Amino acid sequence: MSTVMIVDDHPIVRDGLEMMMKLTSDLTVVATATDGVDAKVKLAALSQLPDVILVDLQMPNMNGRDFIKGLAQKTKIVVLSTEINAEIVMHMADYGIHGYLLKEEEPDKIVNEVAKVIADDHYVAISNAVMAKMVQWNQQDHISHLTERQILLLKQVAAGLTNKEIAAQLFVTDRTIKLYLTEIYETLNVSNRAQAIAVAAKRGYI
């Protein structure tokens, strides 16, 4: 049985998703919380971290962004929000996030996406509207630059290092490297290593 925690200050969201997940035999909600502070207390009372934590961004006392920062890489996190936060969307790997879903999605789709995230370590759940916004940002060249870390990673890829070898050098997991690469692909608007290296070289990054 896979476990889920829901962190949201709106009761209708918490209760609605919990009810939907009760109808799914493979998912169980082990805790709910109204904000980041409440979530930390609830997590401390659990014997182990949930497989996935669904987190809203706009909450009182401690918002979702601050709560997420303390959980990076410890468990899978899926943002569930009414807004599209550019900083978080474009740096999901840094925040340890495995999905960014909007509350406008049908509840059953949200539940299905959570189940996919749990089942597949490489799966990233993204609402179509979020993906469209990412494409728009790329087209407008708002995020055409790469960070120093991303450039370093691309140089390692260009040198022929595998994900496992790069992960060992950066002291992170293979999964984290894959998420970093996904970020780079989205930024450069490419779909694989070869294309990323070619575009990065053309732009003078490597």
- Whether pLDDT at 128 is above 60: yes
Check for a shared fold between 2-137 and 144-202. Answer: no
Q: What is the mean pLDDT of residues 39-50?
A: 94
Phi-psi group of 141: left, alpha or beta (phi > 0 → left; psi -120 to 50 → alpha; rest → beta): left
Topology of domain 2-137 in CATH is Rossmann fold (3.40.50)
Domain boundaries along the sequence of the chain? 2-137, 144-202
What's the average model confidence in pLDDT over 51-62?
A: 93
| C-beta of residue 57 within 8 angstroms of C-beta of residue 35 | no
- What average pLDDT does the segment 116-121 reach? 92
Please provide the average confidence, as pLDDT, over all residues in the chain.
Answer: 88
Is 38:8 a contact under the CB 8 Å cutoff? no
Report the distance separating Cα 6 and Cα 8, nearest Å: 6
> By percentage, how much of the chain surpasses pLDDT 90?
50
Architecture (CATH level 2) of domain 144-202: Orthogonal Bundle (1.10)
Give residues with Cβ within 8 angstroms of 50, minimum separation 6: 3, 4, 5, 30, 31, 75
* Residue 72 confidence (pLDDT): 66
Does the pLDDT at position 26 exceed 60? yes
CA torsion sign for 24, 27, 31, 32 is: negative
For residue 123, pLDDT beyond 70: yes
